[in-house]
Amino acid sequence: QAIQAINGHTDMSAEEFTNIIFQKIDVNNDGELTLEEFITGVERDEDLMDLITKNFDLSNVLKVIQNG
């Protein structure tokens, strides 16, 4: 949530973000994601890759840290 706030992407809650991830890439619907499922799912879904990239972009976090 903090990374989203710093990056200005507060339009989605952490729960909503997690639900999107699971809906798109939990292929066996067991409610768990293996690393393999996650990597494969993200590689196959350009929109999901974009969403994750934006939500976990740490460049602004580093700027905040550097500037105190």
Tokens (6 digits) for 1: 């949530």
Average pLDDT, the chain: 80
User: In percent, how much of the chain has pLDDT > 70?
Assistant: 85
pLDDT one-digit tens code per residue, 16-46 = 878 888 888 888 889 899 898 888 988 898 9
Q: Is 57 left (phi over 0), alpha (psi -120 to 50) or beta?
A: beta
pLDDT at 5: 63
Per DSSP, the three-state class of 68 is: coil
pLDDT at 10: 62
Q: Does the predicted TM-score (pTM) go above 0.85?
A: no
* Nearest CA-CA partner of 39 in 29, 30, 27: 27
Tokens (6 digits) for 48: 């999901």
CA distances from 6 to 17, 24, 45 (A): 16, 26, 25
